[in-house]
């Protein structure tokens, strides 16, 4: 399966959230994805077979697991750059262009409050 940069970022964001919070409930997962359970299921279908996450239980009538937790394999994968690192390695580079874009993206990420928003959505401050 070929993932785009956005999907890689979303996969890494989900892994980072699990790393920061320890676990996510189905309600927190729904909130994290603004009610887009199809997007959540798409990502879970990538992470679960790779054993990056553990899905625990299912509520009747719901496709989302009752609880998600991060496996050690997922933690190590994230520590090594995650999906974004793989995506970036596979992109063709023009001399100097990627370095400028990457530096600008890192500056923007440091200026955002995205990690705090994700932690708040997961009930951890």
SS3 81: coil
Nearest Cα to 68, choosing from 14, 25, 119?
25
Does residue 78 contact residue 16 with C-beta atoms inside 8 Å? yes
Q: At what angle do helices 5-21 and 37-47 cross, to 10 degrees?
A: 80
Query: Per-residue confidence of the chain (125 residues) as pLDDT tens digits?
Result: 788 899 999 999 999 999 999 999 999 999 988 999 999 999 999 999 999 999 999 878 889 999 999 999 999 999 999 999 999 988 876 555 555 655 655 565 555 444 444 444 445 44
Measured CA to CA in angstroms, residue 31 lies from 25, 28, 120 at distances of 10, 5, 10
Domains and CATH numbers, the chain: 5-121 (1.10.10.10)
């Amino acid at each position: 399966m070929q993932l785009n940069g956005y999907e890689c970022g979303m996969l890494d964001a989900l892994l980072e959230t699990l790393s920061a919070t320890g676990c996510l409930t189905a309600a927190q997962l729904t909130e994290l994805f603004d009610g887009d359970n199809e997007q959540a299921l798409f990502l879970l279908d990538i992470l679960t077979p790779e054993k990056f996450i553990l899905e625990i239980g299912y509520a009747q009538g719901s496709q989302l697991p009752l609880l998600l937790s991060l496996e050690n394999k997922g933690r190590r994968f994230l520590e090594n750059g995650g999906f974004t690192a793989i995506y970036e390695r596979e992109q063709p580079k023009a001399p100097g262009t990627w370095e400028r874009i990457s530096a600008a993206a890192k500056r923007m990420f440091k200026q955002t409050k995205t990690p705090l928003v994700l932690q708040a959505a997961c009930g951890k401050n």
